[in-house]
Amino acid sequence: MIEGGRVLQCEVRREHAGLTVAAFLSARFPYHTPEEWAGFAGEGVVLVNSRRAAPGLVLGEKDIVRYLPAEKPEPRVDTAVTVLYEDRDIIAVNKTGNLPAHPAGKYFRNTLWAVLQNDLGVASPSIINRLDRETSGVTLVAKNPGAAAACRRQFNSRSVTKKYTVFTEGALAGPVRARGYLSRCAGSAVRIKQRFEPAGTEGPEPGREAAWADTEFRPLERRGGVSVVEAVPHTGRMHQIRATLFSLGYPVIGDKIYGPDEEIFLRFLEGRGTAQDAAKLRMGRQALHASELLFRHPSDGRQMAVSAPLPADMLELADHKENL
């Protein structure tokens, strides 16, 4: 839970007894790695039963673990999350295009995770399909461990259909099935940037270390040199849609990493963005929206289809033809 704005506290359950502090926190709150949690414990901001805890301390059942990060100002976000569907097991929301899913880096209170707890009354949210901060749209959240496990099994088995609407630079002539490999973009100054390499096979080659990625793209509308595209990823890789479209020659409008100049992203991180950068991007964030999610309900197996309308910023871009 979150108390007083920036205090996270939880009780160790039987199944987690015997884990170290760092291992427990990374399992319970995977938005930080075990190494990062170990670092926080070393800084003295992790307490177990009100005492400072070493990263390797072994936890027992019903121990109380608290994380007290330093109070720091956070960047402004858009917390206007709307509920698309809700019952006792799950809640599906329409996330805005300026809202991190989990606490990380500069963000703790200003996250979807905090909105779910503090504004929507979800005591222990498990965000199933975590969207990037600048990606809007359908986000599925489980309210209890059983529902979370059932939902994750569906995603892991790739039995869920995820549909995205994306605005791209360049006129996509027809449907494309992009199969290939994602790996770190060698030579890029952006550490997290990925490169998509098309493959001549319909499945991954044995022994290949790069991540296999499979995405379908279908043009919905073309306006001059811009395409409105439906993207259906069949695998779930980091930056899969954005990196694949960039490598195919159709970068996402507004994308700071996979757009006209990756230096824009570096300037953005340092707060040195320029008017010229904004003009090149044409939109304040990447024009990528999770438009529909098809899955089976975790409790009774009925087919669910949850959709979210295009957000105002993408509609505004589409309405202003001079921008396209």
Q: Whole-prediction pTM value? A: 0.80
- Low pLDDT (below 50) residues in the chain: 1-5, 321-324
Burial class (CB in 10 A: 0-12, 13-18, 19+), 293: buried
Cα separation, 279 vs 264, whole angstroms? 11
| 126 in a structural domain | no
| 213 in a structural domain | yes
| 133 in a structural domain | no
Task: Answer whether 180's CB lies under 8 Å from 196's CB.
Answer: yes
Domain boundary, last residue among 21, 47, 67:
67
Instruction: Please tell me the predicted confidence (pLDDT) of residue 31.
Output: 67
Instruction: Please tell me the predicted confidence (pLDDT) of residue 200.
Output: 80
Instruction: Please tell me the predicted confidence (pLDDT) of residue 273.
Output: 85
Coil/strand/helix, residue 38: helix
CATH code of residue 196: 3.30.2350.10
Instruction: Please tell me the predicted confidence (pLDDT) of residue 320.
Output: 62
Checking DSSP bridges between strand 51-52 and strand 64-67, what pairing results, if any?
unpaired
| 257 in a structural domain | yes
Instruction: Please tell me the predicted confidence (pLDDT) of residue 27.
Output: 82
| 130 in a structural domain | no
CATH code of residue 53: 3.10.290.10
Domain boundary, last residue among 32, 50, 67:
67
| 144 in a structural domain | no
Residues 108-142, buried b or exposed e (16+ Cβ, 10 A)? bbbbbbbbbbeeeebeebbbbbbbbbbbbbbbbbb
Range of the domain at 25: 2-67
Which two three-digit tokens encode residue 89?
A: 């097991």
| 148 in a structural domain | no
- How many domains in the chain? 2
Checking DSSP bridges between strand 226-233 and strand 126-127, what pairing results, if any?
unpaired
| 134 in a structural domain | no
Coil/strand/helix, residue 42: helix
Task: Answer whether 257's CB lies under 8 Å from 267's CB.
Answer: no
Domain boundary, last residue among 29, 45, 67:
67
Instruction: Please tell me the predicted confidence (pLDDT) of residue 2.
Output: 41
Give yes or no: residues 172 and 279 share one domain: yes
